[in-house]
A and B are shown apart, each in its own frame.
Chain A
Amino acid sequence: MLREWERCPRHLLVSERSNFQLERSRHGVAVRGHPFNYRVSFLIPECGALPVKLKSVIKNFGKYYLVKDLPLHEFVNHDFINIFIKKGAFYALSYNTKIDQDNTAAVLPTGKLILSVDKDTYEELGLQGQPSRYSGKKVMRYIVTIDLTDASFLPDTKKHKRVLWALKENMPLKFDFLLAWHSTDVEVSTAMSYFSKLKMKEYEPNITSSILRDLHCPVLQNSELQGKPEESCSAHELFDWLGAVYNNVDCNNHSYSFISTYCCPQPSAVLSQAYMCTVTGFILPEKIHHLMDHLCQYFDEPKLAQWVSLTVHGFADSPVSWKESEHGFHKSGENLYNFVIFNNQDYWLQMAVGTNDDCPP
């Protein structure tokens, strides 16, 4: 029995260290490859007010849309493909669908429609897919991928007809979708009027910020990713601590507190103040990349802080985590990454995924 307990589900945390100026640096891959983000938070130590530049960046994260009961065959429509998929990066994720219970759908910016459907739906749907990687012996979930930009996916081809028949006549699947679009040359809101015949609502990302005082903060050494006892903390410890900070967890470990026994990893230093900002919504990777660039520029002028941190959480119920690697939900569906940006443009990148997930890129 105890053996069973020891066999707890797998989680992955990947940590790496590199420099933004390096050619082989993969920070762009990590950010752009993570399509569905619901929360972006950053922490700037020793900072009382947000620089104006950063403020305008987070203000301009762009709108996103919630469309109710959007039939899936709309995405297979060639008008849609020509307007949205071919002229920009289109992001869509079904809303309020749980990846471990319901059918879930998403459109990736690469023009792929991904359906994660349960066994019953798959057997009735009539579209070829693959069993989920995390299903073990009894397959209860299938992943159907339709490449909308494929050359053989033109109107009136056999493939297109079959998909259209499956999604329109055989099984008209409908979802509430979160939509966002990134395009350089077309106005987003005018293009979005394409969906105006459906119930559509416009949303803006929600920004909350606070200044933390007298914060215990682990000491980091740029070159020591795995930490040195008595000298600096490891990436893993920092990651743990950041979670505590972002969630307002009390790190004091008072004897009377029964909620948390967490305390700041040692060695630690006390920060007089730190600026924490959290943006929630359906946030596009392009915007996050933009924010990251500005956070790097934060160190252009000499600052007291040694580092800033940027954490991005992905949707727990999205069918993909990074790129097209399958994402699942066992007891938690986390897929998140964290950048620790040092003042010499070095960075630590930490990518974490839950149980039913591929290793991050």
Chain B
Amino acid sequence: MDWVYGPNGILTKTTITRCKLGGRTGDWVVWPFQPKICSTTPYTSGISCLSALCIVQGGSFLGIEHREPVRNYKSLRAMRDADAVVSAPSTRFVWCLNYCFSSMSVFADLNVSYTSDVKRLQSILETAAHLGYSTVAINHIADFQEKKKEIDKPVCPSELFPSLPIVQGKSKPIKVVTRLTLITSDPSHCNVLRSTSPRTKLYDIVAVFPKTEKLFHAACTSLDVDLICISVTEKQPFYFRRPPINAAIERGIFFELVYTPSIKDSTMRRYTISNALSLMQICKGKNVIMSSSAERPLELRGPYDVATLGLLFGLSEADAKAAVSSNCRAALLHGETRKTAFGIVYTMKKHQVTVTEEKETVPVCKKAKTEET
């Protein structure tokens, strides 16, 4: 075998097996790098690589055992384009790490704790905008166990801010939505959701924090919610089971992992990671969102950092990024569906539309059209 051309790696042959794809006697060699913590180039800073691909003339096609064949194939296909080119210069190498898909949309933090302290809330939102979040949800918690109280009216973002802070690096202001979290420990608490209570309808997102397995099951299969919170401050009181979680994924409900406790305290971190991992075993990284639950501006983290933190929770690279971006978008849309008639027809007043359009300074023509008719 002719794969000893490691750029700086000490090669361990034991980790290498022949790839299942069985390439032709050709050009591809795969081997592990020594993990490297100290790369400095903008290019290499993200690397700390463990495996690599290389084209070597006259080498043989090998793969690392744990790779999924499909991914492997995709990455190789990307490289095949290069293959044709290889012959031109006298020598050519391609170093390549694993392939990764990422679906992308704007970043969102769907959990910023509501406080009556407006100044603090403002500074949290400002920090979030500065970190690059485009959407932030202010979270109202309704805990029926503590005190029998009515659900609060959601805070109106326009009251909070005369002008919303502008997201860093963009010209758009941050979008603020409202969210309600119900902490349920008794089935009777869910009645608020079942009956079309006018208060619940005021919120953009409705989340539920089930304390018992029965309620978790109900939340996954029948309750009309957008998010299900996963406990991060204590050991999960029940095991996750496959049927309810699959049902929740089917229904488009997302599981929420909160990262602030794991930043604050090492015990909490342990619980967070263990609970998250047991969840990931079942849901395989699908339908997970990560949010801050920040009470102070300092507790917020940038979206890319949160995505990296997601690796600790057992998410893959692409899933971790989706957990702060596209999954949040899907959850928001799921919440929006509640305002429509069964997700089929959505009516609004026209002059309202034009007002929002003027705010966003988008379609001029839409307005013109409405004036015509």
Q: What is A's interface to B at a CB cutoff of 8 Å? A: 1, 3-18, 24-26, 96-98, 100-102, 118-119, 134-141, 168-172, 176, 225-227, 234-237, 239-240, 242-244, 247, 249, 260-263, 265, 313, 328-332, 334, 336, 349, 352, 354-356, 358-361
Assess whether B89 is interfacial by the CB under 8 Å rule: yes
Q: A11-B96, A260-B38 are in contact. Are A26 and B43 (CB under 8 A)?
A: no
Picked from B45, B81, B97, B304, the residue with its CB within 8 Å of the CB of A359 is B81
Question: Are B42 and A313 neighbours in the complex by a CB distance under 8 Å?
Answer: yes
Show 7 A/B contacts (Cβ-Cβ < 8 Å), sorted by A: A6-B51, A11-B49, A98-B170, A140-B105, A140-B326, A239-B44, A328-B104
> Which B residues contact A (CB, under 8 angstroms)?
5, 7-8, 37-51, 66-67, 75, 78-79, 81-82, 85, 88-107, 134, 169-171, 277, 304, 307-308, 311, 314-318, 321, 325-326, 362-365
Assess the B315–A262 pair: CB atoms within 8 A: no
In the complex, which residues of chain B have a beta carbon less than 8 angstroms from the beta carbon of A356? 100, 102
Find out whether the CB atom of A234 lies under 8 angstroms from the CB atom of B89: no
Name B43's closest neighbour in chain A (CB-CB). Answer: A352
Chain A contact residues, majority secondary structure = loop
CA A249 – CA B37 in complex, angstroms?
A: 14
B93, B314, B364: the one within 8 Å of A226 (CB): B93
The answer on a CB contact under 8 Å between A247 and B100 is no
CA distance A336 to B85 in the complex (A): 18
For the complex of A and B, list the 6 residue pairs with the smallest distance between their C-beta atoms, beginning with the closest. Answer: A243-B41, A136-B101, A236-B7, A16-B89, A359-B82, A140-B103
Contact B43 A239 (CB under 8 A): yes
* Cross-chain contact of A11 among B5, B40, B43 (Cβ < 8 A): B43
CA distance A304 to B167 in the complex (A): 50
Given A101-B325, A247-B40, the answer on whether A359 and B78 have CB atoms closer than 8 Å is yes
Report the bound CA distance from A109 to B104 in whole Å.
27
Provide the bound-state CA to CA distance between A240 and B96, in Å: 15
Residues of B with C-beta under 8 A to A225:
91, 93
Q: A11 to B97, alpha carbons, bound, how many Å?
A: 5
Docked-complex contact B89 and A100, CB < 8 angstroms: no
Distance in Å from the Cβ of A244 to the closest Cβ of chain B? Answer: 4
Q: Which residues of A contact B7 (CB under 8 A)?
A: 226-227, 234-237
A137 cross-chain contacts in B, Cβ below 8 A: 101
Q: Please, which residues of chain B bring their CB within 8 A of the CB of A354?
A: 43, 46
Q: CB-nearest residue of chain A relative to B75?
A: A10
Q: Beyond the given A240-B39, A360-B82, could you list 5 further A-B residue pairs with CB under 8 A, ordered by the A residue number? A: A13-B94, A13-B96, A17-B89, A136-B318, A243-B44
In the complex, how many angstroms separate the beta carbon of B99 from the nearest chain A beta carbon?
5
Question: Across the two chains, which residue of chain A brings its CB closest to B106?
Answer: A101
Indicate if the CB atoms of B46 and A236 lie closer than 8 Å. no
Chain A residues, Cβ within 8 Å of B95: 11-15, 236
Distance, CA A80 to CA B308, complexed state (A): 44
In the bound assembly, the distance between CA atoms of A243 and B94 in angstroms comes to 19
- On whether A26 and B89 interact (CB within 8 A), knowing A6-B50, A96-B170, A135-B101, the answer reads yes
Q: Which residue of B lies closest to A174 (CB)?
A: B361
Which of the residues B41, B47, B94 comes within 8 Å of A244, measured between beta carbons? B41
Residues of B within 8 A of A352 (CB): 43
A240 touching B317 in the complex, CB below 8 Å, given contacts A7-B98, A359-B82: no
Shortest A170–chain B CB gap in Å is 7
Candidate in B38, B40, B308 with the most chain A CB atoms within 10 angstroms = B40
| Residue among B42, B44, B304 with the highest chain A CB neighbour number at 10 A | B42
Are B317 and A96 in contact, CB atoms less than 8 angstroms apart? no
Taking a contact as CB atoms under 8 Å apart, the answer to whether A101 and B134 are in contact is: yes
How distant is A317 from chain B, measured CB to nearest CB, in Å? Answer: 9
Pairwise interchain contact B98-A10, C-beta atoms closer than 8 A: yes
Residues of B within 8 A of A265 (CB): 8
Interface contact A170-B79, CB-CB below 8 Å: no
Q: Assuming A101-B106, A140-B326, A237-B7, is B94 touching A14 (CB within 8 A)? A: yes
Closest to B333 in A: A120
A243 contact from B37, B43, B48, B75, Cβ within 8 A: B43
CB pair B100 A336 closer than 8 Å:
no
Min CB–CB distance A167 → chain B (angstroms): 11
Complex-state Cα separation, A242 to B67, whole angstroms: 32
Chain B residues positioned under 8 Å from A261 (CB to CB): 37-38
Q: Which B residues touch A13, using CB under 8 A? A: 43, 93-96
**Contact call B314/A16, Cβ cutoff below 8 A:** no
Q: In the complex the two chains form, what is the Cα distance from A101 to B98 in whole Å?
A: 23
- Residue from A3, A96, A139, A140 in contact with B171 in the complex, judged by beta carbons closer than 8 Å: A96
Partner of A16, one of B93, B96, B107: B93
Residues in A whose Cβ lies below 8 Å from that of B85 = 361
Which single residue of chain A is at the shortest CB-CB distance from B80?
A: A359
Which partner residue on chain B sits nearest A141 by CB separation?
Answer: B104
Q: How far is the CB of A123 from chain B (nearest CB, A)?
A: 13
- Interface pair B325/A242, CB less than 8 Å apart: no
When the two chains form their complex, are residues B40 and A249 in contact, meaning their CB atoms are under 8 A apart? yes
**How far, in angstroms, from A279 to B39 measured CA to CA in the complex?**
23
How many Å lie between the Cα of A12 and that of B66 in the bound state? 20
Q: Tell me the complex Cα distance, A12–B365, Å.
A: 45
In the assembled complex, how far is the CB of residue B330 from the closest CB belonging to chain A, in whole angstroms?
Answer: 9
Are the C-beta atoms of A359 and B104 separated by less than 8 Å? no
Do A330 and B42 touch (CB < 8 A)? no
Partner of B5, one of A6, A97, A101, A226: A226
CA separation between A259 and B295, bound complex, in Å?
30
Within the complex, what minimum Cβ distance (angstroms) separates A345 from chain B? 14
